[in-house]
Structure 1
């Protein structure tokens, strides 16, 4: 059992993910039910709990109720951070890639996710180093995470020799990626002559 499963029931995970990974969005109850993909009664109960404890606002628009996360809640930032760590791109992509990890030397996230400036519409940028895994394998493996996140995942794949060669030649794209914030999911960059710690300048 993962940490998210230990802390939150399955339906609550999906409801929290919907609201806290899309903090600028608001939803009708039917939209929440459709997005979560669980029974309407279970979703309504979870939403009602979040409203009752002040984590979600309920607004009335004519006959329709609209829901959005309450950023003024005293625990908003702490819970948003926890939801992001447990249910966000880093966690979901890491979990999705587990079956391929024996064949992957390096897996890291870069771009807006690593910088902490991503939003619900942001693509997720992923860099992989492998001599055996194909792009087709990667797209197939990442498909459930992509659908769950409702975001496009953009993988870039290098062989070990190509990755090492581009580092030595200081290829502009890789230089930008490795000089900027990144989140190392798997592997050791030291063997490629990169000693900077993940996500640090």
Structure 2
């Protein structure tokens, strides 16, 4: 969807990278390798996005690090477009809200890093109806044209290993604040 509006594939990749997870910080060569694009193609798009104020850059030694400008007035709208493009908004609304007692939900892996790999890793914490979860995932995978891999943990299990998800994942759902969507 987004690639029909924005014809530069490199620009789309940059928007996904930085606006899905605004904590991402990357430099030119790292992005070039990750995207499999020339440094010149990535540099041109980084410069355009920085000139538009959508990205911020910061010099660290001899390298320039880029990140999303979360203070830009269009940041929330661009982020919403990115999450809709990836189908994350549908995932939250159609899966999490109907599964029983979902205490927390995280996206981990490539999507948490802003990489559209076609595989969404989802961690759910709580008492989940697994049969219903699988039926929803089967439907959603067809709708969003991405594979969804789910790890379901009980609260006790999450307390043992959950710190990794908190630090590396994107929080989608928090039972204490069900209207909260980090993404």
TM-score, with normalisation over the residues of structure 2? 0.54
Q: 2:3 aligns with which of 2, 5, 9?
A: 5
- CA change 1:118–1:79 in 2 (3 A) is farther
Q: Which runs of at least 4 in structure 1 moved beyond 2 Å after TM superposition?
A: 88-91, 108-111, 114-124, 147-155, 184-187
In 1, the alpha carbon distance for the partners of 2:111 and 2:15 equals 20
- CA change 1:52–1:115 in 2 (3 A) is farther
Aligned partner of 2:116 in structure 1 is 148
Using the TM superposition, give the Cα deviation of residue 50 of structure 1 relative to its aligned residue in structure 2, in angstroms. Answer: 0.6
1:174 aligns with 2:129: yes
Aligned partner of 2:146 in structure 1 is none
Partner secondary structure for residue 18 of structure 1: helix
Instruction: Say what the alpha-carbon RMSD is for the aligned residues.
Output: 4.3
Higher relative CO (CA 8 A, sep ≥ 6), structure 1 or 2?
A: 2
Specify the structure having the higher radius of gyration (Cα). Answer: 1
- CA change 1:115–1:79 in 2 (3 A) is farther
> Which consecutive residues of structure 2, in runs of 5 or more, have no partner in the other structure?
144-177
TM-score, with normalisation over the residues of structure 1? 0.50
Aligned partner of 1:41 in structure 2 is 40
